[in-house]
Amino acid sequence: MDPSSLAHHLLIAMPQLDDPGFGQTVTYIIEHDDQGAMGLTLNRPLEHINLSRVLDSMKITPRVPVPDDAHPVVAGGPVNTQTGFILHPPCEQMWHSTVVLQSGLWLTTSKDVLEAIACGQGPSHSLIALGYAGWEPGQLEQELVDNAWLTTPALPEMVFDVPFAERWHAAARLMGIDLDLISTQAGHS
């Protein structure tokens, strides 16, 4: 693994980041190299889209009761918002497009994992992200220089266990930082 890569890290938006798409977000970086970066925002739940609606839109009929709250749906980012990414814990099987991201976290982008969930044979819980965040070569590096983001190694618990409303602060606490104590004003002398 490239030591300069932020793959498998969390990007935590700094308080002064006022971008409406990324303010107060936590984004899991899946890929980061000299070609750019790709990640999934973890704390923007979609109010009107749930697992049942996703299954219905894909013409998948559940064969067992599947709780929507075990498979929440988030806005993963502004790029390709009709494309789904399923983050889930390791399972007994892999699906057509499953990638092991790190210990305790897999990513699947193929329909077969949703079919398995609908049959009670898939992961018992997951995070479904619609769309992704993308950065051109050098763009993320410049945003880091501009102090737009904090970074910390990702933990699967942040993806599955921390309530959405607490993820931004909880991710910063992994670094020992209280975001409420960071000033959004810069001083000049």
Cα Rg of the chain (Å, integer): 17
What are the tens digits of pLDDT across the range 4-13? 899 999 999 9
In the chain, pLDDT over 90 holds for what percent of residues? 85
Left if phi > 0, otherwise alpha if psi is -120 to 50, otherwise beta: which for 147? left
State the pairing for strand pair 73-75/127-135. Answer: parallel
On average, the pLDDT of the chain sits at 93
Q: How confident is the model at residue 1 (pLDDT cuts 50, 70, 90)?
A: low
What phi, psi does 85 have (nearest 5°)? -130, 125
Candidates 88, 84, 95; CA nearest to 160 is 88
In the block, tokens 């993308």 appear at 134
pLDDT score, position 139: 96
Candidates 43, 110, 47; CA nearest to 77 is 43
Q: What number is the average pLDDT over the span 94-116?
A: 94
What are the tens digits of pLDDT across the range 25-56? 999 999 999 999 999 999 999 999 999 999 99
Cα-Cα-Cα-Cα dihedral sign, residues 111, 117, 119, 122 = positive
**Neighbouring-strand partners of residue 37:** 32, 135
Q: What number is the average pLDDT over the span 168-188?
A: 83
pLDDT score, position 176: 94
With contact defined as beta carbons under 8 Å apart, do 27 and 11 qualify? Answer: yes
Q: What number is the average pLDDT over the span 145-159?
A: 94
Q: How far apart, in whole angstroms, are the C-alpha atoms of residue 86 and residue 71?
A: 9
**Neighbouring-strand partners of residue 31:** 38
pLDDT score, position 147: 93
What string of DSSP letters covers 79-108? EEEEEEEEEE---SS--TTEEEEETTEEEE
pLDDT score, position 2: 63
Q: What number is the average pLDDT over the span 100-127?
A: 94
In the chain, pLDDT over 70 holds for what percent of residues? 95
Q: How far apart, in whole angstroms, are the C-alpha atoms of residue 83 and residue 106?
A: 17
How many C-beta atoms surround the C-beta of residue 73 within 10 A?
24
In the predicted structure, residue 86 carries a pLDDT above the cut 80: yes
State the pairing for strand pair 149-153/73-75. Answer: unpaired
pLDDT score, position 18: 87
pLDDT score, position 184: 65
